[in-house]
Amino acid sequence: MDEEEEEGELEKDEYVVQKLTDICYGGIDRKSCIYFKVQWKGYGPEEDTWEPIENLSDCPLKIKEFVQEGHMRKVLPLPGDVDVLCGGPPCQGISGLNRFRNRDDPLNDDKNRQLVTFMNIVSYLRPKFVLMENVVDILQFAEGYLGRYALSRLVAMNYQSRLGIMLAGCYGLPQFRMRTFLWGALTTMVLPKHPLPTHNVVIRGGAPNAFTQSVVAYDEIQNPTLKNALVLEDAISDLPKVGNDQADDVMEYLVKPKTEFQRYIRLSRKEMLDYSFGDKTGPGEGTLMDHCPLRLNKDDYERVKRIPFEKGANFRDLEGVRVGPNNVAEFDPEIPRVYLESGNPLVPEYAIKFRSGKSLRPFGRLWWDETVPTVVTSANPHSQRILHPSQARVLTVRENARLQGFPDYYRLDGPIKERYMQVGNA
């Protein structure tokens, strides 16, 4: 309830709203609605909570105060006030992990509705420029339904539009990561071009056939001089050795940066800003944070220790596996099944059956000379190549963060699984 409505003693489990301090759409329980961050009367900031708008029906004055203050501070802009609107509305309804994807009407899936909300915000605010980022699946799923929807909405609002597919590795990250970028500009503005690649990364497919011309690249007649692609060694070879059970996520650097990428990524916030303007004064030797891996269970740790420390190694190198016709992994009938101390098999059924036995990803080891695949939201070695080249563990949160371009001064928050998720979703 509002403070103004507070009368007498409060009932049990009843609290008074002191102030609304922030706003977002969606929450931890993934309910699709507006949430306000609430400062409770008589409690400190550590007790602030996110509450759905339906829980604040008795607090219209607090909501009004929040909106009025937002307008005064220009936190909540009015139509015509916005120069650039940027966003990456998630479309989880088209994820390959979603077995119940709606191919006939993707926009009827609540998990895809944030794309509609994003375009509605564009329609209301009428910014001079719009930049939307998303996964390439919006151009692939259901014949590119969601991507075509976004493009058509901009055109219908009389925006100039330009669609581009870009690879992070082509711009100086040691990660492949293909993404879709959609520019929009009012007809009174100059429509920006997508930046051309700076690094020589071989494009390994991934662009939908109908949108191959949207891949940002040089014309065939051009012969640009590009920098060499960055690889895993460029990104993480300076980081201290840690084990599977590493618990302390704060430590000191043990060696100086070995590459230009490492030199830059280790700069402090101030030094990085100076560096951007050409002042290459050298890194400050700060504290290394989040350099700890997801702790594998005993069985998985045993499996990981037995994966050879060599390029291309994966579960197929474990005892009892052979490669049959059509490059399909299978159990070798001539070798007795090997079991771990727990009684579980060394080679689990799911590894053999993953992608019909044709995948090389389960318990796959990355290598130093690779531009790695896309960083994802978990460190599970069962279905992806995420093992360190020379250590018996998965990549740490910090190693993943570096592959995403996070500066070392950027500290993640929460349990370790949530930190992996924060990095992968960035």
The string of DSSP codes covering 159-203 is EEEEEEEEEGGGGT-SB--EEEEEEEEETTSPPPPPPPP-EE---
**Residue among 308, 329, 311 nearest 320 (CA):** 329
pLDDT grade, residue 27 (50/70/90)?
A: low
**Residue among 166, 94, 87 nearest 127 (CA):** 87
* Residue 371: both structure tokens together: 């531009």
Please report the beta strands in 207-360, taking only residues with DSSP state E, as ranges in sequence order. Answer: 227-228, 250-252, 287-289, 321-323, 329-331
Compute φ and ψ for 149, nearest 5 degrees.
-60, -50
pLDDT at 282: 46
In sequence order, which ranges of 190-297 are alpha helices (DSSP H)?
232-236, 260-265, 269-276
Judge whether residue 333 has pLDDT over 70: yes
Percentage above 90 pLDDT, the chain: 67
> How far is 62 from 55, CA to CA, in rounded Å?
13
| Mean local confidence (pLDDT), 182-200 | 97
pLDDT grade, residue 203 (50/70/90)?
A: confident
pLDDT at 111: 77
> How far is 388 from 116, CA to CA, in rounded Å?
40
Residues of the chain with CATH 3.90.120.10: 231-426
> How far is 146 from 137, CA to CA, in rounded Å?
9
* Residue 168: both structure tokens together: 């992070």
**Residue among 205, 174, 195 nearest 131 (CA):** 195
Superfamily of domain 84-214: Vaccinia Virus protein VP39 (3.40.50.150)
> How far is 30 from 26, CA to CA, in rounded Å?
6
Judge whether residue 112 has pLDDT over 90: no
Residues of the chain with CATH 2.40.50.40: 3-72
pLDDT at 283: 46
Element (H, E) at 101: none
CATH number of 231-426: 3.90.120.10
pLDDT grade, residue 40 (50/70/90)?
A: very high
Element (H, E) at 345: none
Judge whether residue 99 has pLDDT over 60: no
Between 206 and 95, name the one with better pLDDT: 206
Q: Which of 24, 33, 86, 91 is catalytic?
A: 91
* Region of poorest pLDDT, from 86-95, 102-111, 411-420: 102-111
Element (H, E) at 84: strand 84-87
Cβ-contact 30, 24 below 8 angstroms: no
Averaged pLDDT score across all residues of the chain: 89
Angstrom distances, CA of residue 220 to CA of 172, 215, 217, 223, 224: 22, 13, 9, 8, 10
Between 145 and 202, name the one with better pLDDT: 145
Judge whether residue 198 has pLDDT over 60: yes
pLDDT at 100: 61
Per the DSSP assignment, residues forming a β-bridge with 364 are 385
pLDDT at 193: 96
Judge whether residue 73 has pLDDT over 90: no
Between 202 and 329, name the one with better pLDDT: 329
| Mean local confidence (pLDDT), 54-82 | 89
Q: Which CATH class is domain 3-72?
A: mainly beta
* Region of poorest pLDDT, from 75-84, 169-178, 289-298: 75-84
- In the residue annotation, 59 being an active-site residue is answered as no
pLDDT at 97: 53
Q: pTM for this one?
A: 0.81
pLDDT at 417: 95
Q: At what angle do helices 113-125 and 145-156 cross, to 10 degrees?
A: 10
Residues of the chain with CATH 3.40.50.150: 84-214
Strand 129-135 to 159-167 pairing: unpaired
The conformation of residue 83, written as its DSSP 8-state character, comes to S
